[in-house]
Structure 1
Amino acid sequence: MRLVGQQEIHTAHEHLGGVVRRTPLEHSRVLGEHSGGEVYLKCENLQRTGSFKLRGAFTRLRNLTSEQAAGGVVAASAGNHAQGVALAASLLGIPSTVFMPDRAPLPKLSATKSYGAEVHVGGVNLQDTLTVAVEHAEKAGSVFIHPFDHPDIVAGQATVGVEILRQLPEVATIAVPTGGGGLVSGVAAAVKAERPDVRVVAVQAAQAAAWPGSLAAGRPLAVDSNRTMADGIAVSEPGEVTFAHVNALVDGVLTVSEESLSQALLSCLERAKLVAEPAGVAAVAGMLEHPEQFRSPTVAVLSGGNIDPLLLHRLISHGMTSAGRYLSLRVRIPDQPGSLAALLADIGELSANVLDIEHSRISGALALGEVDVEISLETRGPEHREHVVAELERSGTRVIGSR
C-alpha cells in the first residue's frame, strides 16, 4: 500500500493555515527529571475542538468533490473525531451527520451538536456505532468519514509532526497516543521523511492494545476487549492504511496500565497546569512507565483535552490514591469526652488534612468504653503517609488498620 508522501503533507499543512492552531510546545521539568532528559509536551489538547482530530477531518473534507460535498458526510466517534468532522463540515458548508455510542461523554456530545452536526446516539461501543454510520451513509448517498483509515486523514494528522520539527529541530524521540493509528501514522510519515533518525513511539492502553498482536501477525487483528478509561484510543482493530504506515515507519509500540494513565493525567493537571483526557495523556503515561525507551530530547503529544468533569473528578481521586496522597485509617480510642478531639489535634500537628470521618461504637471487637474511628486523610505522598501512621502509633494511638 502506498504511504502518504511529503507533498500531500505539505499541501495539508498549507490548507490548514488559519483553520487550526499551531499548538504550543511546553517544556516539562517533571517528566525530564523522571526520564533523565529534556521533555516537551505538544499541546493538541489546546487545539480547536480540544484535540488533533480537526486536522485530519478538515483535510479529508476539503478534498471531497463538489458532488460528494453536496451529499453530506457521516461520521462515527466517541467524541473527538465527531467534533472535528462537525466543525470542519461547518467551516466548509457541508451537511454532517454524526453517530455516537450510548456512553459518549456528555460534553463531547454537546460540543458536537454545537458545531452544527446532526447527532444520533446509539450502540454499546464504537464498533457498533461505526456499523450503523456506514449503513446510514450508504442509504443517504453520503460520504462516510472514517476516523483514521484514510490517506487524507493521515496527511492532516501529519501536520502535528511538521510543527514539532519546526518547533524543536533537535528532537530525538516523539511519543504519540495511539488507537486506530491515524495520528502516529501521520507523525511518522512527516518526521521520517525529513528526519529518519528521530524515533517515533506509539503508546497504547494495555486494555485496548490491538497493535502489538497485529504487528506480530503482519496484518490488522482485532482484540476481544477494549475496556479502558482512555475511550479516545479504545479501538478494537487497526485499519489497512494505518497498519501500512505503522508497520513501515513507527519504531516501537508501548502499552501502559490504567494506573499509569490516571497518574499521567494527574501529573499534567497538577504540575503542567494542562487539562487532558485519559487517551490524550497516553504518551505521558508511557514516559512514566517506560522512561528508558525515550532518547532525549523527547516530545510527548498531548492528543486531546475533552474530558467529562465527572470522570475527571473520579480520575483525580484515583490518581491521588495511586500517588499515595490519600490515607484511610481505622483507629481505636477511649469512648470518653475529648478523645476524638485529641486524635484530630494529633493529626493536625502531623500536617494531614481530614477529608471525612466516621465514629462507630458497634463492633464485636470493641471492649466496653472503646470506640472505632474510620478516618480519611489527604497526605503529601507515600513518605508522609508512613510518617503519619508511625507518629500516631508512637503517641499511643491504636491503629487497627491503614490503606
Structure 2
Amino acid sequence: MPAEGDVMATTPDEMKSSSPKKGEDILYDPWCDPKNPRVINFQDVSAAAFKIKAGIMNTPCTRSHMSSITDIEIYFKKEFNQYTGSFKERGARYTLLMLTDEQKKNGVIAASAGNHALALSYHGQDLGIPVTVVMPLVAPIMKVQACRQYGANIVVKGNDIGECREIALKMAKDQGLLYINGYDHPHILAGQGTMGLEIVEQVKDIDAVVIPVGGGGLIAGVALAVKALYPHIKVIGVESERCASFSEAMKAGQPVYVKAESTLADGLAVPKVGVNAFATAANLVDKVVTVREEWIAIAILRLVECEKAVVEGAGATALAAILAGELPELKGKRIVIPLCGGNIDTTVLGRCLERGLAADGRLVKFTVTVSDRPGGIAELTRLLANLGVSIKDMMHERAWIKSDIFSVEVKVIAETRDYEHAKVLKGALESHYTKLRFVNPDQIHSDDC
C-alpha cells in the first residue's frame, strides 16, 4: 500500500476486493480511505458511459436565453430531466452495475436526505438490487415517500447526515451490505464523469465548464472527462459561501472540515469534500469561487423566468456565479453549466422566488406613517397607483405607534418593475411623508434602495 498522502489508481477488480471485512472499525469505509485516496482515470469514465447508456437519459444541452444579457454564450446541460430529477443517477447506476453477484444479492446501503437516495432507490428497483437508505429526521417527507415508492428500505433515524452515516456503516457491517458514499465512491465519480463526455459531444468549441461543488464528486468526474479530451477547456467550481469546503481543501492541499451553515444550496452543504474526489480533481480544477445566498435566489428566479426551468439551489449555483460577476474572464466565451437537479420542495421554491424578487428590487417592503383621517390611506394608495406600483399586502397599526393618535402606521409589501422603479418609489414616498422606513433585504445592487 502507498504511504500516507499518496494517491493510487485502482482497477475495478481491485476495487471489488475492498469490501468491508469482519472486525474492521464500523465507521471505516474502505472505498474512501483518507490515507490511500483512489484516483479514477479516463478509462473508468468511458467504461461507465458504455454500461449506463441503456438506463440513463442523454440530457439536452441547449443555448440559454440569458446569453445576450450576460455577454457570455451559455449552454445549459439539463440534468434535472433525469427520471429522479438529478445527475446522481449516473453514478448510482454505474456503482450498482459494478457490484459482484454476491453484493447484488445482499444489497447496498447509503446515508442521504436527497438526490443520492432517490437515484439509488430507483435504479436499485430497476436492476433488482435491494437498497437501504438511512435518512435524517429532517429529511423532506416528499423525498422519503418517493424512495419508499421505488421499493427501497428507508430508515429515518439520526439528526443529521453525519449520524446517518454512522448508523448506515454499522448496518453495513452487521447485515453484510455495501456502503455507497454518494459523492466519493470511485464508481460514483466515474459515473458522474459521463456527463462530461456528453457535454463535449453536444457543444463544440467550449471555453469553460462551470460546475457546482459540494462533496466534489461531480466536478472530479466531469473535469477528468473534459480535460482528458480537451485540456484547454477551463474547469471552474462554484460553492455557496456558507459551505466553501472545496475552496478550503484547495488552500490546505487536502480535504479539511468546515462548518456548514444553512444555505439555499442545501445539496452542496458538505462540510468535508471526498478524499477520492479531491485527489482526482485537485490538479484538474482551474478555479473555485463562492457566491452569496441572494445570488443563488436570483439564479433560481432567472431560470424560472427565462428558461422555464425549475432548478434547486445546488443546481443553480454555477449560474449564480455568472450573474454575480464572479467570473468576468468568461465574457465573450462559450461555456457550459450543468443544471444538476430540480428536486426543490414547492414551499422552498416559493420562498426562493420571493427572496429573489426582494434581492432584485422587484419586491419591496416599507412602513410609512400617514394621517388616520378620511382620505389618508387613500392618498397613499393613489400615489402608488400613479407610479404603477402593485400592492401585494397592506397592514395598519394604531395601538403601538408613538406619533399622535390621529396617525396610522401602514406596512406595505409592493411589487415594482425593477430596481430603478423601486428607487423612484422610495423617492416619491420620501417627498410626501416624513416618517418612512424601507426594509432593505440582502441587495444584489451596490447601493441601498
Aligned residue for 1:314? 351
Say which of 268, 293, 297 aligns to 2:303: 268
Q: Give the superposition deviation at 1:341.
A: 2.4
- Match of 2:402, SS? coil
Name the aligned partner's letter for residue 189 of structure 1: L
- Match of 1:170, SS? coil
Say which of 16, 19, 22 aligns to 2:58: 22
Structure 1 residues 5 and 153: alpha-carbon distance in aligned structure 2, compared to 1, 3 A threshold: same
Aligned residue for 1:93? 128
- Match of 2:134, SS? strand
Aligned-partner Cα distance in 1 for 2:367–2:257: 46
- Match of 1:74, SS? strand
Aligned residue for 1:220? 255
Aligned residue for 1:247? 282
Does 1:378 find its partner at 2:415? yes
Please give the residue correspondences for 1:174-323 in structure 2 after superposition, counting only pairs within 5 Å. 174-289=209-324, 290-294=326-330, 296-323=333-360
Contact 1:79 1:112 in 2 (8 A): no
Contact 1:389 1:399 in 2 (8 A): no
Q: Give the superposition deviation at 1:365.
A: 3.3
Please give the residue correspondences for 1:29-68 in structure 2 after superposition, counting only pairs within 5 Å. 29-34=65-70, 36-68=71-103
Please give the residue correspondences for 1:359-398 in structure 2 after superposition, counting only pairs within 5 Å. 359-363=396-400, 365-394=402-431, 396-398=432-434
Name the aligned partner's letter for residue 304 of structure 2: L
Contact 2:260 2:270 in 1 (8 A): no
- Match of 2:239, SS? strand
Please give the residue correspondences for 1:27-176 in structure 2 after superposition, counting only pairs within 5 Å. 27-34=63-70, 36-176=71-211
Does 1:401 find its partner at 2:441? no
Aligned-partner Cα distance in 1 for 2:244–2:160: 16
Aligned-partner Cα distance in 1 for 2:219–2:213: 6
Aligned-partner Cα distance in 2 for 1:376–1:228: 25
Aligned-partner Cα distance in 2 for 1:228–1:244: 26
Aligned-partner Cα distance in 2 for 1:324–1:15: 48
Aligned-partner Cα distance in 2 for 1:364–1:257: 36
Say which of 387, 393, 408 aligns to 1:356: 393
Aligned-partner Cα distance in 2 for 1:54–1:81: 8
Contact 2:429 2:436 in 1 (8 A): no
Structure 1 residues 252 and 129: alpha-carbon distance in aligned structure 2, compared to 1, 3 A threshold: same
Contact 1:157 1:182 in 2 (8 A): yes
Aligned-partner Cα distance in 2 for 1:364–1:56: 59
Task: Give the aligned length.
Answer: 401
Aligned residue for 1:342? 379
Q: Give the superposition deviation at 1:259.
A: 1.6
Aligned residue for 2:45? 9
Per-residue deviation, residues 33-76 of structure 1 (Å, max 9, x unmatched)? 22x22111111111121000000000001010111110111011
Per-residue deviation, residues 323-343 of structure 1 (Å, max 9, x unmatched)? 111222222322222332232
Aligned-partner Cα distance in 2 for 1:217–1:364: 54
Q: Give the superposition deviation at 1:262.
A: 1.3
Aligned-partner Cα distance in 2 for 1:183–1:318: 28
Per-residue deviation, residues 82-139 of structure 1 (Å, max 9, x unmatched)? 0111111111100110011222222222221221111111222212211211111111
User: Which runs of no fewer than 5 residues in structure 1 stay unpaired?
Assistant: none
Structure 1 residues 142 and 363: alpha-carbon distance in aligned structure 2, compared to 1, 3 A threshold: closer
Name the aligned partner's letter for residue 306 of structure 1: N
Name the aligned partner's letter for residue 137 of structure 1: A
Aligned-partner Cα distance in 1 for 2:92–2:335: 27
Per-residue deviation, residues 240-281 of structure 1 (Å, max 9, x unmatched)? 210111112111111112122111111111221110111111
Name the aligned partner's letter for residue 17 of structure 1: K
Structure 1 residues 364 and 51: alpha-carbon distance in aligned structure 2, compared to 1, 3 A threshold: closer
Aligned-partner Cα distance in 1 for 2:311–2:152: 24
Aligned-partner Cα distance in 2 for 1:139–1:50: 32
Structure 1 residues 27 and 143: alpha-carbon distance in aligned structure 2, compared to 1, 3 A threshold: same
Contact 1:32 1:39 in 2 (8 A): no
Q: TM-score scaled to structure 2, two decimals?
A: 0.85
Q: Give the superposition deviation at 1:368.
A: 4.5
Contact 2:115 2:343 in 1 (8 A): yes
**More displaced 10-residue stretch of structure 1: 216-225 or 37-46:** 216-225
Aligned-partner Cα distance in 1 for 2:401–2:106: 73
Does 1:331 find its partner at 2:379? no
Q: TM-score scaled to structure 1, two decimals?
A: 0.95
Q: Give the superposition deviation at 1:183.
A: 0.6
**More displaced 10-residue stretch of structure 1: 368-377 or 272-281:** 368-377
Computed over aligned residues only, the root mean square deviation of the Cα atoms, in angstroms, reads 1.7
Structure 1 residues 200 and 32: alpha-carbon distance in aligned structure 2, compared to 1, 3 A threshold: farther
Q: Give the superposition deviation at 1:402.
A: 1.8
Name the aligned partner's letter for residue 241 of structure 1: N
**More displaced 10-residue stretch of structure 1: 261-270 or 3-12:** 3-12
Name the aligned partner's letter for residue 389 of structure 1: K
User: Which runs of no fewer than 5 residues in structure 2 stay unpaired?
Assistant: 1-7, 10-38, 440-449
Aligned-partner Cα distance in 1 for 2:68–2:93: 34
